[in-house]
């Protein structure tokens, strides 16, 4: 039985990856290692928690001794590494946490894998999940290619870029078989309501202002989270060692246009008169160093590995809003306590 370690599996994307692998591959044993920070939530995995091929391990990837012992004990065949601090705004207020988890944590995992695999890399893989934000910010034209030079602009993207470099360096120096994917913005069920889409759904439900940074003209390229998990499955099984694949849905939206679609979708589902939620839109102080535009060219993974997104954006947004409406308790649970504090600090001066 193949032993696969998935880090950050209690988070947004990680939980969808864990679910897919546990259900689709009964002959793999999936170990989900997660520190359960504010963003990690075992509620996300209730449906598979008793599966015979699934084990949850609570732990911190920054803890070198713990990680080395875990690898020595379990001798994993592969790692799919998603654990990270993932929110740009938090990286602006507290960059060190991002350096510890995203950089030091990644290198701890690489060292432990190298040690336990003892230079016998047959059938081994270290899969590093990264972001398109490492490429920096685009103007109106062009796309990020796998060959686009790194130009990270936020503490978050700088920490992810650094971790990508270490993964490539360990491949080049020690021969560890690695693969890296850089994906665009994800949306869908289970996303913590600090990121744009779930934050705005939560605020609409609570009739709170919708804080649009700057003029709302920044552009993001959105992919439904299950399609990202499907891409990770494809790259894990068919990707070429040492390669990088960009993942995205060719689905660019100006923030303000996306927000209007979101408002309309929620209004329709709640039976509100048209335009109700749009009245909550409030333009606030821009994010420091706000990247103007991200846009992924996903031709390589489409042509070489045959992956493509399964959902159109309107369908994805509709499913996402349905999920949050049907899981009000999940939202209420994750927004109690520390969340209130975060929200107050993040938006008070805007």
Q: How far is the CB of 304 from ligand TYD (least distance, A)?
A: 26
| Residue 212 binding: pick among ligand NAD, ligand TYD, none (C-beta 5-8 Å cut-off by kind) | ligand TYD
Q: Would you please indicate which residues are annotated as catalytic (active-site) residues?
A: 132-133, 156
Q: Do residues 182 and 134 lie in contact, with contact meaning Cβ atoms separated by under 8 Å?
A: yes
Counting contacts by CB under 6 A, is residue 324 touching ligand TYD? no
Q: Which of 113, 37, 29 is nearest to 70 (CA)?
A: 113
Q: Which of 220, 228, 230, 293 binds ligand TYD (CB under 6 A)?
A: 220
Candidates 27-35, 163-171, 210-218, 265-273: pick the segment binding ligand TYD (CB under 6 A): 210-218
* Residue 26 CB neighbours (<10 A): 11
Positive or negative, the Cα torsion across 63, 69, 73, 79?
positive
Q: 295 to 314, contacts with ligand TYD by CB under 6 A?
A: none
213 binds, among ligand NAD, ligand TYD, none (CB under 5 to 8 A by kind): ligand TYD
Q: Are 128 and 81 in contact, with CB atoms under 8 Å apart?
A: yes
Among 21, 54, 126, 213, binds ligand TYD (CB under 6 A): 213
Query: Per DSSP, which regions of 248-334 are E strands?
Result: 252-254, 281-284
Give the residues lining the site for ligand NAD (CB under 6 A).
7-8, 10-14, 34-37, 39-40, 60-62, 82-86, 101, 105, 129, 131, 160, 183, 185-186, 192
Q: What angle, 0 to 180 degrees and rounded to 10, lies between the N-to-C axes of helices 196-205 and 313-326?
A: 50
The least distance separating ligand NAD from the CB of residue 159, rounded to whole angstroms, comes to 9
d(CA 115, CA 147): 30
SS3 66: helix
Give contact residues for ligand TYD (rule: CB under 6 A): 88, 185, 195-196, 199, 211-213, 218, 220, 255, 287
């Amino acid at each position: 039985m193949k032993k696969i370690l998935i880090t950050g599996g209690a988070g947004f994307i990680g939980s969808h990856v864990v679910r897919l692998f546990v259900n689709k591959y009964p002959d793999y044993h999936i170990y989900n290692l997660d520190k359960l920070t504010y963003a990690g939530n075992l509620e996300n995995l209730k449906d598979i928690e008793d599966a015979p091929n699934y084990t949850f391990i609570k732990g911190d990837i920054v803890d070198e001794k713990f990680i080395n012992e875990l690898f020595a004990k379990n001798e994993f065949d592969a790692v799919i590494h998603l654990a990270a601090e993932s929110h740009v705004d938090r990286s602006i207020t507290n960059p060190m946490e991002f350096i510890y988890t995203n950089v030091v944590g990644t290198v701890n995992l690489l060292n432990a894998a190298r040690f336990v695999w003892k230079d016998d890399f047959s059938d081994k893989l270290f899969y590093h999940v990264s972001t398109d934000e490492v490429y920096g910010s685009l103007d109106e034209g062009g796309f990020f290619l796998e060959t686009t030079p790194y130009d990270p602009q936020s503490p978050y993207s700088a920490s992810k870029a650094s971790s990508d470099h270490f993964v490539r360096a360990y491949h080049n120096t020690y021969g560890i078989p690695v693969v890296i994917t850089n994906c665009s913005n994800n949306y869908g069920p289970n996303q913590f309501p600090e990121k744009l889409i779930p934050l705005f759904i939560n605020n609409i439900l609570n009739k709170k202002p919708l804080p649009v940074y700057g003029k709302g003209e920044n552009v993001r390229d959105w992919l439904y989270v299950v399609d990202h998990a499907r891409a990770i499955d494809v790259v894990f099984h068919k990707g070429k060692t040492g390669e990088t694949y960009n993942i995205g849905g060719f689905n660019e939206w100006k923030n303000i246009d996306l927000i209007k679609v979101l408002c309309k979708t929620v209004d329709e589902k709640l039976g509100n008169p048209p335009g109700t939620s749009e009245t909550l839109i409030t333009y606030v102080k821009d994010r420091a160093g706000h990247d103007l535009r991200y846009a992924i060219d996903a031709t390589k993974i489409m042509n070489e590995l045959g992956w493509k997104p399964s959902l159109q954006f309107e369908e994805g947004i509709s499913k996402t809003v349905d999920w949050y409406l049907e899981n009000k308790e999940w939202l209420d649970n994750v927004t109690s306590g520390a969340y209130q504090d975060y929200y107050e600090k993040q938006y008070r001066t805007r």
